[in-house]
């Protein structure tokens, strides 16, 4: 599993983009490695370790989001105790991301539907279309289509930056 550590930076970057919080991204990355260690016997030697790890991370993120949604559904509307609202917290996190990436590009990527965001980010990590398909659990043709549509949408949104 030493080879898995070679993908730590890419996993963290993907987690950071998904959760928009550096501390939560580190937790998600650690959870990914913990899950990978627990399921190491399921990994087929010779298969794509990077895609396997990214799929674990994505699944862990989805599990957390579902758990969070269930927990927040129990909270009564308007029952605030002075803590920042989810919207205000999200805006602060978005500002942190925009500090790392050009504001316009970040906004354009965030405006994409989630499936398009995911394929763009995995593509930027240097994954092949087959690897992305493995991470997402879909056909390679689906990845190609999503990438094409996501890139077209970004070209439209960022048209003012063309030379």
Contact 153, 116 (CB under 8 A): yes
Helix/strand/coil for 98: helix
pLDDT at position 80 is 47
* Segments of the chain scoring below 70 in pLDDT: 1, 72-103, 160-163
Give, rounded to a whole angstrom, the gap between the first and last alpha carbons of the chain.
Answer: 45
In a domain, 163, yes or no: no
Q: Give the model's pLDDT for residue 90.
A: 57
Does residue 36 sit within a domain?
A: yes
Which pLDDT does position 124 carry in this prediction? 85
Q: Answer whether 12's CB lies under 8 Å from 26's CB.
A: yes
Per DSSP, 21 falls in state -
Whether 133 and 148 share a structural domain: yes
Here the CATH number for the domain that contains residue 75 is 1.10.1740.10
Question: Residue 107 falls within a domain, yes or no?
Answer: yes
CA-CA distance, 30 to 57, in Å (whole number)? 9
Predicted confidence at residue 100, as pLDDT, reads: 38
Global pTM reads 0.62
- In the DSSP assignment, the letter for residue 138 is S
Query: Which is nearest to 119 in space by CA: 58, 60, 35?
Result: 58
Which of 100, 118, 133 finishes a domain?
A: 100
Q: Supply the range of the domain harboring residue 1.
A: 1-100
Tell me what pLDDT residue 25 has.
92
Q: Are residues 21 and 8 in the same domain?
A: yes
pLDDT of residue 17: 86
């Amino acid at each position: 599993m030493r080879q898995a550590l070679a993908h730590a930076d890419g996993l963290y970057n993907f987690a950071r983009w998904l959760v928009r919080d550096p501390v939560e991204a580190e937790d998600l990355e650690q959870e990914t490695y913990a899950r990978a260690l627990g399921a190491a016997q399921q990994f087929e030697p010779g298969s794509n370790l990077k895609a396997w790890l990214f799929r674990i991370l994505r699944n862990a993120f989805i599990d957390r989001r579902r758990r969070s949604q269930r927990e927040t559904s129990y909270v009564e509307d308007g029952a605030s105790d002075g803590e920042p609202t989810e919207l205000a917290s999200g805006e602060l996190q978005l500002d942190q991301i925009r500090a790392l990436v050009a504001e316009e590009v970040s906004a354009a990527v965030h405006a994409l539907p989630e499936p398009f965001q995911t394929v763009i980010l995995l593509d930027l990590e240097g994954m092949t279309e087959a690897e992305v398909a493995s991470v997402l659990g879909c056909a390679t043709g689906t990845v190609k289509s999503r990438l094409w549509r996501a890139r077209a949408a970004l070209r439209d949104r960022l048209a003012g930056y063309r030379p």
